[in-house]
């Protein structure tokens, strides 16, 4: 884990990971998958404001990155499920770290208001 | 820390944090700041492919989010420095988690193949 320790050096792996995980909606989708949601409609239903088109796009992106697998069961109607790969499950540590930082350091009203700059500069 | 534990629930704080941290270049800039780089030119120089305009934009974003402070020393020429706030330093756990995941789970050739820039695939 030499590289992880040397945070002075630019690391394209790190950058790729940060941007992959931080993509619009991706964080929320990963949380839902880690919580065991598997069906497209369950995933869509658990994330307010996320359109089917966007969910589909993000899942394809995660599949291409080897983070999610898509399985199709030949039932009637077909049952399509998404599951995290081993690589995807390993993201749990990242999701937990982000959750904890957000919980500790982002004031709740600030998130609700979206635009941080419109908020008073106070807290913590 | 209720939200962090219940990863089934949609959490706007989490989403905001993930998108903030995962913004294009933001991860690399945070790493450089955590490594102690403070001056604009040092930051710019440590991240291949990052334009001054983009760096300036990202720093303003981080400042607005209370993650970075900008100080101007009245020297000649003026010395402008950027430092992480307490909130910003707390992101170290996130940066480490992302680094470790990237190092373990992203194949090196994959990252090199990424458009990550016109840099040689060498340094991590």
Per-residue pLDDT for A74 more than 50?
yes
- Residue A103 is assigned to a structural domain of this protein: yes
What per-residue confidence (pLDDT) applies to B81? 94
Tell me the residue length of chain B: 124
* Structure confidence at residue A10 (pLDDT): 67
Question: Terminal CA-to-CA distance of chain A, rounded, Å?
Answer: 33
Report the CATH number at residue B19.
1.10.10.10
Gap between the Cα atoms of B4 and A90, Å rounded: 17
The model's confidence at residue B11, banded by pLDDT at 50, 70 and 90, is: confident
The tally of domains found in chain B comes to 1
Answer yes or no: do B7 and A35 touch at CB < 8 A: yes
> For residue A90, what pLDDT band results from cuts at 50, 70 and 90?
very high
Q: What is the pLDDT of residues B42-58, one digit of tens each?
A: 999 998 889 999 999 99
Q: Which helix (H) or strand (E) holds B68?
A: strand B68-73
* Chain B interface test: which of A6, A25, A101, A113 (most B C-beta within 10 Å): A101
Say whether pLDDT at A2 is over 90.
Answer: no
Identify whether B124 is part of a domain.
no
**Residue B118 domain flag:** no
The pLDDT score that the predictor gives to residue A110 is: 52
- A1: in domain: no
Give yes or no for a contact between A117 and B64, defined as CB atoms under 8 angstroms apart.
yes
Interface test with A, best of B50, B91, B102 (most A CBs within 10 A): B102
Element (H, E) at B84: strand B79-84
Assigned domain for A48 exists: yes
pLDDT at residue B119, as a whole number: 43
pLDDT of A119 strictly over 80: no
Note whether A11 contacts B96, CB cutoff 8 Å. Answer: no
What pLDDT does residue B58 have? 94
Residue A7 lies in a domain: no
Tokens of A74: 């030949």
Window 64-123 of A: residues touching B by CB (8 A cutoff) are 87, 90-91, 93-106, 108, 111-112, 114, 116-117, 121
- CA B124/CA A11 separation, integer angstroms: 4
Q: What is the pTM of this model?
A: 0.74
Q: Is residue A70 part of a domain?
A: yes
> What average pLDDT does this structure show over A72-98?
92
Residue B115 confidence (pLDDT) above 70: no
- Flag if B22 and A25 touch (Cβ within 8 Å): no
Q: CA distances (Å), B65 to each of A117, B3, B16, in order?
A: 7, 21, 11
Residue B124 predicted with pLDDT over 80: no
pLDDT surpassing 80 at residue A1: no
pLDDT at A4 over 80: no
Residue of B nearest to A88 (CA): B105
A44 vs B100: CA distance, rounded Å: 30
Of the candidates B96, B111, B124, the beta carbon closest to that of A9 is on B124
Domain containing residue B68: 14-113
Q: Can you tell me the mean pLDDT for B70-81?
A: 91
Higher pLDDT, A63 or B16: A63
SS (H, E, C) chain A: CHHHHCCCCCCHHHHHHHHHHCCCCHHHHHHHHHCCCCEHHHHHHHCCCCCHHHHHHHHHHHHHCCCEEEEEECCCCCEEEEEECHHHHCCHHHHHHHHHHHHHHCCHHHHHHCCHHHCCCCCC
pLDDT of A116? 44
The arithmetic mean of pLDDT across residues B103-117, rounded, is 63
Residues 37-56 of A with CB under 8 A from B: 37, 46-48
* Helix orientation angle between A12-21 and B26-34, rounded to the nearest 10 degrees: 130
Integer-rounded Cα Rg, in Å, for chain A is: 17
**Chain B residues lying within 8 Å of A19, measured CB to CB:** 22-24, 27
Q: Per-residue confidence at B121, pLDDT binned at 50, 70, 90?
A: very low
Does any domain span residue B2?
Answer: no
Quick check: B8 and A96 CB within 8 A?
Answer: no
Do B113 and A6 contact (CB within 8 A), yes or no? no
């Amino acid at each position: 884990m030499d590289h992880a320790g040397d945070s002075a050096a630019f690391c394209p792996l790190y950058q790729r990971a940060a941007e992959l995980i931080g993509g619009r909606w991706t964080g929320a989708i990963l949380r839902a998958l880690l919580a065991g949601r598997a069906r497209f409609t369950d995933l869509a239903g658990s994330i307010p404001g996320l359109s089917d088109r966007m969910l589909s796009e993000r899942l394809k992106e995660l599949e291409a990155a080897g983070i999610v697998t898509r399985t199709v069961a030949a039932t009637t109607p077909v049952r399509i499920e998404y599951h995290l790969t081993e690589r995807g499950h390993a993201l749990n540590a990242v999701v937990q770290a982000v959750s904890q930082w957000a919980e500790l350091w982002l004031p709740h009203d600030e998130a609700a208001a979206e635009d941080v700059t419109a908020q008073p500069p106070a807290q913590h």
